[in-house]
Structures are given as C-alpha cells and as structure tokens.
Amino acid sequence: MSKAALPEKKKKEVKGTPIAPWMVTFADMMTLLLVFFVLILSFSTMEVERFRAVSMALQNSFGFQMMNPLNMIPVDNPPRTENIIAPIKPEPPTTENTGMENQLDTLGNRLDTNFIDEIEKGLIIVEQDEDHIIIRFPDDAAFGSGSDWLEPQMVPIIQRVGELISDFDMYVVVGGHTDNIPINTERYRSNWELSSARATSVAHELTWMSDLNEEYLYVVGNGDARPITSNATPEGRAGNRRVDILLMERDLTEEREVFQGIQQIPTYR
C-alpha cells in the first residue's frame, strides 16, 4: 500500500504593505533628533548664538531644513535667569601668586640699582607707588638759574634713563615745574614757558640715544601750578624747581588715565 500524501501547509498571508528595513533606522534617527531638540528647548539658559551655529551645522550635515526652535522662543519673554549661578571668573595673576614682578616693580628696582651713585649725590630722585614711578631731576643739579640748558653732567644720566625706560611698555610724561616767582625775560614770558622749555630739553635727551616710543611720550609745562613743598622759603622754592618723569604701565593704564594720573600725583597744598 502506498502512503497517502500529506496535505501541504498553507503559508500565512501577510496583510498590509511590507515595511522596508531602512525605514526602521530612519524612524529611530528622527526620534532621536526630536528628543535632542526637546532637550535643547528645556534648557532655559541656552546661548542663542552658539545654538544657532549648532543648528546650522546639523542642517548642513543632514541635508534638509529642520524646524528652528529659536523661532519658538518669544522675544518679549526671555528665559528666567534668577536661579542661575554665575560662572566664577579667574582673577588676573598678581605678583603674590605668580612670584613674578610686574613691569613697574622691575623698572623701579633697575633704576635703584643702576643709579646708586647719582641717587646718593642728589642728582636724581626715584619715587614709586603702586600706580606709577616718578624720576625727579632737581633744578639746582640740572639747570642754571632761569635757563633751559642742561648741565653737562646731567646729559649722560638722562640718556641712560631713556635707554632703560625704552625696555619697558610705559607711558612717559615729562613735566617741568618752577617756583612761584614770576619770570619775564627776552626768552621766557612766564614760568609756563620756562617749565615747558626745561621739560622739552629733558625729553630730547631721553629720546636721543634710545628707542623710546615717542607715541607714548608727553611733554608738559606746569609752571608753578604743582608745587611739592612750600614756596615761602628759598629751600622750598628750590625744591619746586624741577623736572619730573612720570611713568605709568601701558598694559594697566588707558590713555585718558594718563592725564588723570598727572593730577593725582601728591602735591603740596
């Protein structure tokens, strides 16, 4: 006897249109993109410019135009920021935490060491505080009575000062000063002209042998307007007749502050 033939199993019919495999991957990608933008919108402190750059980069990468969440943020209702902790800004380095001197301190130390003999003889006076350095040339050592011609001994000293200053980034203000006794000669009509001429003489010697940047050099004639001692005695008047070189560090000083600094120098009142 022959075995009866077994009935063939019928294949299940798949209802509906079959889904292409790549559609699953594409759907996952779109879902992730949606989650990505929802998270971005949830950040109330987002930086608009940075987000715009990221958004443009994504558009270029995927090759299609995406919805721009920036358009969904109302201009008249900016994100609340009262609970945001401001980032801690690092403090600028100082000489205490870096162990390094700033330009002003370095220049002051070099002036003290390079002009020891001149300072002891009273030919030059160096004063310094946290904002500026003053190099002072007394009248009795630098000039003759009523003259703007430098004494020969002062010329090489001032030239050495100019060479030293030119190694640093400084505003340089050369100011001439007189006592309160009026002057009226054929050469000078007033103390302003005498003080200006003396300051100019010093400025010429500062720049003669050095690479001092004249863009940051100022020459000022103060007359008797800024005394440092009383004009009631001959000694006091001699102290007021002087030429001062005011040095202020350019990295820490704006140009308008140079003129304010001139007015802040301690004077006799």
pLDDT in tens, the chain (269 residues): 455 555 555 555 555 566 777 777 888 888 888 888 777 776 655 565 666 666 676 666 555 554 554 444 444 455 555 554 454 444 554 544 444 568 999 999 999 999 999 999 999 999 998 889 999 999 989 998 889 999 999 999 999 999 999 999 999 999 999 999 999 888 999 999 999 999 999 999 999 989 999 999 999 999 999 999 999 999 999 999 999 999 999 887 776 667 665 655 555 54
Question: Tell me, what's the pLDDT at 98?
Answer: 43
The DSSP H or E segment spanning 134 is strand 133-138
Q: Which amino acid is at 160?
A: R
For the domain made up of 101-264, give the CATH fold: 60s Ribosomal Protein L30; Chain: A; (3.30.1330)
3-state secondary structure of 205: helix
DSSP 201-216: HHHHHHHHSS---GGG
Question: Tell me, what's the pLDDT at 72?
Answer: 47
To the nearest 10 degrees (0 to 180), the angle between helices 103-114 and 154-165 is 150
Question: Tell me, what's the pLDDT at 73?
Answer: 46
Phi/psi at 56 (5° precision): -65, -35
- Residue ranges per structural domain of the chain: 21-72, 101-264
Handedness of CA 233, 148, 162, 172 (dihedral sign): positive
Question: Tell me, what's the pLDDT at 107?
Answer: 95
Question: Tell me, what's the pLDDT at 44?
Answer: 52
Question: Tell me, what's the pLDDT at 259?
Answer: 65
3-state secondary structure of 59: helix
Question: Tell me, what's the pLDDT at 84?
Answer: 46
Burial 51-70 (b: 16+ CB within 10 A, else e): beeebeeeeeeeeeeeeeee
CB-facing half-sphere around the CA of 120: CA atoms within 13 A? 5
Question: Tell me, what's the pLDDT at 189?
Answer: 93
3-state secondary structure of 49: helix
Question: Tell me, what's the pLDDT at 7?
Answer: 57
